Amino acid sequence: MTDRLRVAVLFGGRSVEHEISVISALQLMMAIDPAKYEALPVYISPSGTWHTGEALLDRSFYSRVPSSLGGLVEVTLLPKPGVGGLTKVAGGGVIPVDVFLPAFHGQYGEDGCIQGLFEMAEVPYTGSNVPASAVTMNKYLCKMFLAAHGIPVLPAAVVERGDAQRNIQGVVASIAADPRFGAYPLFVKPCNLGSSIGVSRVEVPGDLAAALAKVFRYDTQALVEPCVSQLMEINVSVRDCNGAAPSVVEIPVSQSGVLSYEEKYMRDGGKKSGQSQGMASLTRIIDPPDLAAEIRDAVTSYATRSFRLLGCSGVARLDFIYDLAASAVYFNELNAFPGSCSFYLWAKSRPRVLYTELIDGMIQAALRSYSVVSSLERDIGLRALRT
């Protein structure tokens, strides 16, 4: 066990998806191959402090935050190369780390922020890099980028929080006049969040302001999209494995038509006290046998193309909408670090990929990528300053 790589699994963070990240990370650390890797849990508290310690592996720890943080070692990652790991805040010693595995959902962890810190510190890290993370986190930018490359997307408009605060009537009127949206209902959701937080289905124009206000509690940009009346959601995971490889597809099953946070992450809609296993506990049809091959192929093809075009790495999940009336597939969004790493899809894929192998693949890809980036020449000497 002495040759094991130490993998710092970072989770929590300053995002509304904080607890989903905790669930994903705890699950991931239970599946990481202990013969090859030593998982070092690193928890970023809601206030932004970084902590490590064995107690983080106990799920009950998190219900006692912040008082439980006292027993942990506070650490940080300095934004300079060559440190070799995490620096202890008290005393300044270094805890060696070989690879960083960010297991965040949402802002600061999945949007390029922490990836930027990894780049500054020049450490190997799993998942997508700064630009891919930043673009995929912003639903509008992502859709516009992919649309420019021929991937079908539904029309969308962005409402800035400031504009809405200044003139909500004007915003509502401009959306009502937008010919791309047609009749209500519309979907209104945060532009930079996942996990279905802040999502509303707006049935009449009079409800639009309330839906926007709900979004602006969490985000500074709201995305407005038409509502496909007869739709089927189809998700697929893609990972980089000698190129972009797709998993089997899934059809998540929703009781209300829109997957809520409770449906995604809490068993029985949160009515019972069972432990959530994150996205793995959602009701879904995996690899539906009666899904038409052309729909499945279209989704898979658009997904692998999108993954490559955006420059993603690691494991992503891409969500599509199938318009049953128009028989058309639309890209909806991309999760650069999906809940439960979408392992439940890979377990049913052909060839099957175990969660353990999925994590192994992410870490090995990170090391390969690091070795390529490290080999790039950065120092061209003084030229302009010398003259």
Is residue 364 at the binding interface for another protein, with CB under 8 A as the rule? no
Q: Between 273 and 292, how does the x/- string for binding to another protein read (CB under 8 A)?
A: ----x---------------
CB of 283 to another protein, least distance (A): 17
CB of 8 to another protein, least distance (A): 17
How near is the Cβ of 352 to another protein at its closest, in Å?
4
Residue from 68, 174, 196, 356 that binds another protein (CB under 8 A)?
Answer: 356
Does position 355 interact with another protein (CB under 8 A)? The reply is yes
Alpha carbon of residue 259 to chain centroid? 16
Report the distance separating Cα 123 and Cα 341, nearest Å. 22
Q: Which stretch binds another protein (CB under 8 A): 81-89, 298-306, 318-326, 343-351?
A: 343-351
Of 33, 75, 222, the residue nearest 138 (C-alpha): 222
State the minimum distance, in angstroms, from the CB of residue 356 to another protein. Answer: 5
> Contact with another protein (CB under 8 A): which of 160, 347, 364, 370?
347
Binding of residue 217 to another protein (CB under 8 A): no
Does position 262 interact with another protein (CB under 8 A)? The reply is no
Kindly state whether residue 343 participates in binding another protein, applying the rule CB under 8 A. yes
Considering only residues 27 through 66, tell me which ones interact with another protein, judged by CB under 8 A.
27, 30-31, 33-35, 57
Instruction: Name the segment binding another protein (CB under 8 A); options: 24-32, 85-93, 147-155, 261-269.
Output: 24-32
| Nearer to another protein (CB atom), residue 41 or residue 112 | 41
Q: Could you tell me which stretch among 25-33, 146-154, 186-194, 322-330 binds another protein (CB under 8 A)?
A: 25-33
- Contact window for another protein (CB under 8 A) among 194-202, 244-252, 255-263, 349-357: 349-357
CB 355 to another protein: min, Å: 4
Using alpha carbons, select from 341, 365, 346, 362 the residue that is nearest to residue 21. 341
Contact between 309 and another protein by CB under 8 A: the answer reads no
Residues that bind another protein (CB under 8 A): 27, 30-31, 33-35, 57, 277, 343, 347-348, 350-352, 354-357
